[in-house]
């Protein structure tokens, strides 16, 4: 089993998959191998079905079940070079509306943070629509504070994109990066290295608690709020799609359900 997992890891790395995806795929495969117990090199569709059904019965989310299926398909197609097709459809994902914070709530969260670096982490994440991994991975050379733009290198799907930097935080950002080389991370850890995603998420959670907000919001809610507020301001959905780095506009359209101005104008009859 270890040998097969190592081969899979090498193939994933060779194809440029992110460390996060590699770790997820290997974890999924290991669980499948333990379930199957033997003959791992042999593609058995019935065995895959039973495994995925077990995951479903255990209450795993549709996204997680689909991740297992993707990992297994990759193993047999790319590592074992099997030509047999895995005729199993992906599980339908729950179409949940994202948790969006109001402008006031974002202000309360950011305002509750006293540490200037932590305050800037949340401000830039919201003001530029960044994922937590993009915030902690941001380098000084990727910031253009004259033009108020930020270049996100190899975001989700290995795609680069340009987003906007709020003029409101330009001065504080300049003070944070002044005198440091372009290859340095904008938000360094206390030891001078890369800040972890978990640390940035903790900053957000602390701000959420201090602000007294009860919504089930996460760091990613800042990105959701960025998109929703831009659409409410009348920005074209095409521009919002580009700023977020969505490959399909259908992904961006979820925010139109949150900000529907006609719906918000309807008064309850009570």
- Cα maximum dimension of the chain: 65
Q: Are strands 149-152 and 161-164 parallel, antiparallel or unpaired?
A: antiparallel
3-class secondary structure, 140 = helix
Whether 255 sits among the annotated catalytic residues: the reply is yes
Spatial separation of the C-alpha atoms in residues 173 and 61, rounded to whole Å = 39
Residue 7 token pair: 């081969």
Catalytic residue among 131, 161, 224, 229: 131
> Catalytic site residue 220?
yes
Of the candidates 158, 159, 152, the residue with the CA atom closest to the CA atom of residue 137:
152
Report the distance separating Cα 71 and Cα 134, nearest Å: 24
Q: Which long-range contacts (CB under 8 A, 24 or more apart) does 143-151 make?
A: 143/173, 143/177, 143/186, 145/170, 145/173, 145/174, 150/124
Active site residue 210: no
In the block, residue with structure tokens 């569709």: 45
Is residue 110 within 8 Å of 207, Cβ to Cβ?
yes
Pick the catalytic residue from 7, 31, 170, 220. Answer: 220
Q: Is 179 left (phi over 0), alpha (psi -120 to 50) or beta?
A: left
Considering only CA atoms, give the Rg of the chain.
22
Specify whether 131 is catalytic: yes
CA 260 to chain centre: 24
Burial of 227 (0-12, 13-18, 19+ CB in 10 A): buried
Options 60, 156, 194, 210, the catalytic residue: 156
Enzyme catalytic residues: 131, 156, 220, 223, 246, 255
């Amino acid at each position: 089993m270890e040998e097969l997992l190592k081969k899979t890891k090498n193939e994933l790395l060779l194809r440029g998959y992110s460390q996060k995806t590699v770790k997820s795929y290997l974890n999924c495969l290991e669980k499948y191998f333990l379930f199957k117990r033997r003959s791992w090199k042999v593609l058995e569709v019935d065995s895959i079905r039973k495994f995925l059904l077990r995951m479903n019965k255990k209450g795993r989310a549709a996204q997680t079940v689909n991740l297992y299926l993707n990992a297994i398909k990759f193993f047999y197609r790319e590592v074992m070079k099997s030509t047999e097709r895995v005729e199993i459809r992906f599980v339908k994902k729950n179409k949940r509306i994202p948790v969006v914070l109001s402008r006031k709530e974002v202000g309360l969260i950011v305002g509750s943070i006293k540490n200037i670096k932590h305050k800037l982490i949340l401000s830039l994440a919201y003001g530029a629509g960044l994922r937590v991994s993009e915030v902690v991975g941001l380098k000084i050379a990727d910031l253009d504070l004259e033009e108020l733009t930020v270049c996100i290198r190899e975001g989700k799907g290995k795609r680069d994109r340009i987003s906007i930097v709020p003029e409101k935080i330009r001065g504080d950002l300049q003070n944070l990066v002044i005198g440091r080389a372009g290859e340095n991370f904008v938000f360094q850890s206390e030891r001078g290295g890369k800040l972890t995603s978990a640390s940035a998420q903790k900053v957000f959670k602390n701000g959420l608690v201090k602000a007294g907000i009860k919504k089930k919001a996460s760091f990613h809610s800042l990105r959701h709020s960025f998109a929703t507020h831009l659409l409410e301001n009348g920005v074209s959905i095409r521009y919002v799609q580009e700023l977020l780095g969505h490959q399909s506009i259908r992904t961006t359209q979820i925010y139109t359900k949150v900000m529907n101005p006609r719906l918000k104008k309807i008064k309850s009859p009570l």
